[in-house]
């Protein structure tokens, strides 16, 4: 077993131990499916409860890849959700011929066996490719379509679709509606214009947008994008103490990442003794925290003896 895979497996064992007092997780332990059940058709209500209970959900960034488990792969989603109470953040790209599929980069080279710009490729060129794991090794997994991901997630996990700017909003929302997934998906936009197009295509969409400073907040407010169906992406360390409470007073829910620097929780967490790194971020106000190490982040959340109880107050019970 590779070192990366062993580390992920050990994190899963520790997570189950925390959830079940050293035994397999009991029936009352929170699960990814329980989060979806609480959210399905009523995501704004769940977000409001998370704000009220001051509790954070963990998101698996690109599904939580590790050795032999590529980013944005169904096999990775399955592994992560089998071990941790998380939602899945995953990326949507669009081929030249209008097929939506799961991939982060605008090019194929880094994380697939293909080459070139995705927007210049037809699906027939992309579909036979294999996804590479974080070590660069090809795996047996091919890039899933958005339709594949939506079908797989039904009954399993809440999705946050990171929608790349070149993706057609109408096509995206039509695909989500066709899958019957409107009530179990959130969307991430990069700009006010992109968010407006997505909101026009789906007025009930829960949209995550960057609100890194007051200027971005005022632009989003002027566009009518701040409210109960808004997830505001914020870096707590970069804003004043009153910024997150102000967003919550406007009805928005704050989301932050746990990665991106040497002092971030993903970088410093080694054992459950380091749980405070994730807990401190959650205490700063984000109700959604997206991690490259979702098993570690969930382990840290579960180390708080009140965590499962506060999630249960929001309907996150099996």
pLDDT in tens, 29-51: 899 999 999 999 999 999 999 99
15 pLDDT above the threshold of 80 = no
Q: Which position has the token pair 């929302």?
A: 173
pLDDT tens-digit series, residues 112-123? 999 999 999 999
- Give the C-alpha distances (Å, rounded to integers) separating 114 from 129, 190, 294, 306: 6, 26, 28, 46
Residue-level pLDDT at 167: 97
pTM of the model: 0.92
Q: Which residues pair with 257 in a beta bridge?
A: 290
Residue-level pLDDT at 6: 41
User: Distance from CA of residue 22 to its chain's centroid?
Assistant: 28
Classify the C-alpha dihedral 133-139-145-150 as positive or negative: negative
pLDDT tens-digit series, residues 267-279? 999 988 999 999 9
145 pLDDT above the threshold of 50 = yes
Backbone dihedral region for residue 258 (phi beyond 0: left; psi -120 to 50: alpha; all else: beta) = alpha
Q: Which position has the token pair 């700017």?
A: 165
- 317: buried, middle or exposed (CB in 10 Å: 19+, 13-18, 0-12)? middle
Domains of the chain: 3-313 (3.20.20.190)
For every residue of the chain, which 3-state class applies, written as one string? CCHHHHHHHHHHHHHHHHHHCCCCCCCCCCCHHHHHHHHCCCHHHHHHHHHHHCCCEEEEECCCCECCECCCCHHHHHHHHHHCCEEEEEEEEECCCCCEEECCCCECCCCECCCCEHHHCCHHHHCCCCEECCCCCECCCCCCEHHHHHHHHCCCCCEEEEECCCCCHHHHHHHHHHCCCHHHEEEECCCHHHHHHHHHHCCCCCEEEECCCHHHHHHHHHCCCCCCCEEEECCHHHCCCCHHHHHHHCCCEEEEECCCCCCCHHHHCCCHHHCHHHHHHHHCCCCEEEECCHHHHHHHHHCCCCHHHHHHHCCCCC
- Are 90 and 110 in contact by the 8 Å Cβ rule? The answer is no
- Give the C-alpha distances (Å, rounded to integers) separating 157 from 2, 199, 221: 27, 23, 30
20 pLDDT above the threshold of 60 = no
Question: How high is the mean pLDDT of the chain?
Answer: 93
Percentage of the chain beyond pLDDT 70 is: 91
Residue-level pLDDT at 253: 99
């Amino acid at each position: 077993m590779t070192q990366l895979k062993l580390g992920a497996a050990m994190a899963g064992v520790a997570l189950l131990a925390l959830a079940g007092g050293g035994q397999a997780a009991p029936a009352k332990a929170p699960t990814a499916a329980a989060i979806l059940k609480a959210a399905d058709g009523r995501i704004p209500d769940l977000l409001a409860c998370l704000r009220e209970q001051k509790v954070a959900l963990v998101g698996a960034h690109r599904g939580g890849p590790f050795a032999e488990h590529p980013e944005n792969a169904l096999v990775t989603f399955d592994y992560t959700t089998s071990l941790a109470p998380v939602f899945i953040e995953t990326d949507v790209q669009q081929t030249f011929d209008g097929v939506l599929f799961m991939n982060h980069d605008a090019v194929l080279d880094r994380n697939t066996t293909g080459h070139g710009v995705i927007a210049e490729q037809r699906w027939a060129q992309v579909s036979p490719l294999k996804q590479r794991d974080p070590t660069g090794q090809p795996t047996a997994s091919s890039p899933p379509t958005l339709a594949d991901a939506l079908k797989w997630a039904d009954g399993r996990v809440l999705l946050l679709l990171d929608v790349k700017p070149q993706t057609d909003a109408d096509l995206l929302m039509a695909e989500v509606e066709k899958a019957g997934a409107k009530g179990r998906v959130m969307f991430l936009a990069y700009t006010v214009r992109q968010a407006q197009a997505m909101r026009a295509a789906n007025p009930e969409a829960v949209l995550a947008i960057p609100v890194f400073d007051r200027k971005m907040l005022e632009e989003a407010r002027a566009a009518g994008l701040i409210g109960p169906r808004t997830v505001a992406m914020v870096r707590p360390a970069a804003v004043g103490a009153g910024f997150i409470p102000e967003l919550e007073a406007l009805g928005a829910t704050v989301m932050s990442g746990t990665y991106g620097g040497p002092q971030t929780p993903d970088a410093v967490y080694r054992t459950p003794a380091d749980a405070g790194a994730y807990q401190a971020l959650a205490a700063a106000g984000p109700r959604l925290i997206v991690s490259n190490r979702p098993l570690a982040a969930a382990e840290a959340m579960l180390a708080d003896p009140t965590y499962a109880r506060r999630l249960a107050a929001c309907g996150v019970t099996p």
